[in-house]
Structure 1
Amino acid sequence: MELEPELLLQEARESVEAAQSYRRELSQRLQGLREARRQIKESASQTRDVLKQHFNDLKGTLAKLLDERLVTLLQEVDTIEQETIKPLDDCQKLIEHGVNTAEDLVQEGELAIRGGIGEQNEKLWSFTKKASHIQLDSLPEVPLLVDVPCLSAQLDDSILNIVKDHIFKHGTVASRPPVQIEELIEKPGGIIVRWCKVDDDFTAQDYRLQFRKCSSNHFEDVYVGSETEFIVLHIDPHVDYQFRVCARGDGRQEWSPWSVPQIGHSTLVPHEWTAGFEGYSLSSRRNIALRNDAESSGVLYSSAPTYFCGQTLTFRQVDVKRSDAQTLGSSGKYSEHAGASDLKSPEFMPSFLGSAVFVNGKEMTNQLPAVTSGSTVTFDIEAVTLGSTNNNEGGNFKLRVTISSNNREVVFDWLLDQSCGSLYFGCSFFYPGWKVLVF
């Protein structure tokens, strides 16, 4: 049975589309294979260069060290030789002087004797007198050979075996680094980087995280420590960044090879405080606010409603001069004239005042730890679906809020008259010296 021309044409078009999709998928896989092949070839070439350079440097250093040791030992030989030969030289000079004196005395005595007693009486008398003043029986002491140094070199050939064993064990080649980046999670103005070990035999003591803009040639350190997660702040939105991590083995000084760089970016707009509020000064990126004036008592708001349900809003106390009251919270509304007490009104999101928590304008019995320097307070909000009603009034929308601080948290519901797609946030500090970072 033959198909109708229209059906046949439609089937042909579908086959062409399927073939095109299949071709695209295969092309993507070919591209992935090319990138994998390039990574293997480039890393192998870099590893060869590193090995050659390292062993050339090692040979040069070893040759220099051996030359320096040889010079030191030769200097020791020279010193011993000079110090121990000097007494022998002094003794030799004394003996040679005695030999010359004795030869002169022999010649003079033989002449006096040949002259006879009569004629040479004065010569004999003079010679005898002269000889009596010379101690012909005093001989200098010459040291025995066993009492003088006999230099030698003590060279332990076992050093060759020791060096050989170390050289044979020196250096390893790994098919992959012992640690890799596991996940990149975008945050407003930041990226959470998580990594993990991929070598079970490697015991990590510390990790080292670096990042750079893809347009830059230089990585910079952002974290060194024992944690396997870190949030990198000051990230510009819609800009690609590269991240890499390495580890230091337990009891070792050198770092492992770098992980395969991972590219990440954030599409979320950074949280910013509003500039120009009396009593507060901001950092250049406007994500850090400092309370620097005790006269005004207004609330410092975010510049825009940049907080959305499902995100985590984090406040970190960068610095605290004294333990005085502070209020953190968020709102669907914005007011330039709001006071600190307004953060506890029903139109505001549940607020955190030091350790007291306010929900819908009422203080809760649940308490959180007091905020101190370095403390972090997080707000997590999710929308809760309510049953259908005849109208959208009377608290028909509910948000479930979780406030966490210092490993403790409180959870409660916030009732709203209308849905709220995004929220402002705000803070208020009564005394100067408080500095808060938001991300």
Structure 2
Amino acid sequence: MSSFESLGLSEPIWRAAAERGYTTPTPIQAQAIPVVLSGVDLLAGAQTGTGKTAAFAMPILHQLSATVDTAPRGPSRVRALILVPTRELAAQVEESVQLYGRYLSLRALMLIGGVKINPQMQKLRRGVDVLVATPGRLLDHVQQRSVDLSHVEILVLDEADRMLDMGFIRDIRRILALLPKKRQNLLFSATFSPEIRGLADGLLNDPVRVEVAARNATADTVAQRIFAVDQDRKRDLLAHLIATHQWGQVLVFTRTKHGADRLAKHLSQDGVQAMAIHGDKSQGARTRALAEFKEGKVRVLVATDIAARGIDITELPHVVNFELPHVPEDYVHRIGRTGRAGNSGQAVSLVCSEEHKQLQDVEKLLRRSFTREVVVGFEPRRVVPGRAPASAPRRPAQSAGRGKPGTGNPFSGRARRA
């Protein structure tokens, strides 16, 4: 079994990791760290929760601390640039850089939108070695001439698939044009679509490719359940499941910002502490909601796909798809928030008959068929086609009215053919 020391990392870095209980590299770390240390370009395929942030943060810190910086010292000059798609992911990455670099004399800074730009400009003037940034805010600083990217030695594109999905390709190209041609490039992506391969071909120079999980695979530690329910009963069923099973920490996904706000309000009215997190919230509100969720002050965090990128909670027990995503790959990203680092987790999807196509797309992507289960008291008026539980008793459909929610375990066979 390897250790961070055996991978070639310097003592200050693996000591900082050990103090946080990280002593054994994950598969992506064991494969990627030696590649990054060798100085060549890297194309890495890794799902969220695999430890990919440390896979590039640790060797970058090693490289920068071990390399003599011969260029003239400029107050706004950056040596390593890490581009990420969302503010939450930027905060996670910057926190990791600070953690592993705590015994090094390197400076890290995060540049994100939603907060005032002047304090960021002041910190840039003091000097930065590692810059973690979202593309839009970085370009704001480029326009203000408050950052110098002409000496970047290492570039990281993290969650490149999500950046392309969010329409950042033009911003990325503008940023690439400002970087020196001679540099090391690291690209991390959960999926390798034709668009990602095209980006990699234009960015990477004879890269080493590492991939630690099958494409679009879900973790074996995540138990996946599909509950058939009418759209207008989803909110009541979710509140019922949370109360009946005493779920203490639940991350719920909706498709829209308005839907996230509405669901959080409904749950709160039902006595379940809930907050919403999405792009229309101020950065302060998003940070506060995430902090209170992690601390257990908020029981349910309702999020859109974009806002949830970067939410990293090691022992998050429950993820709920209140609505299935339009893009099946997003299902993999969503449920990858639970079952991390060897912990078990549960992913529950509330599926109405109108979402049959989205469910089929997920099953096709994952090459598996899900059992449709029904909670007694929440039987749908229209069925969701699919495979019924082998042991599930066939029962007459009840009224479509509110009914009396079952109080037993809906996972245990209190279900009928859907």
Q: TM-score band (shorter)?
A: under 0.3
Higher relative contact order (CA 8 A, sep 6+): 2
Which has more radius of gyration? 1
Report the TM-score, using the length of structure 2 for normalisation: 0.23
The structure with more strand, counted as a fraction of residues: 1
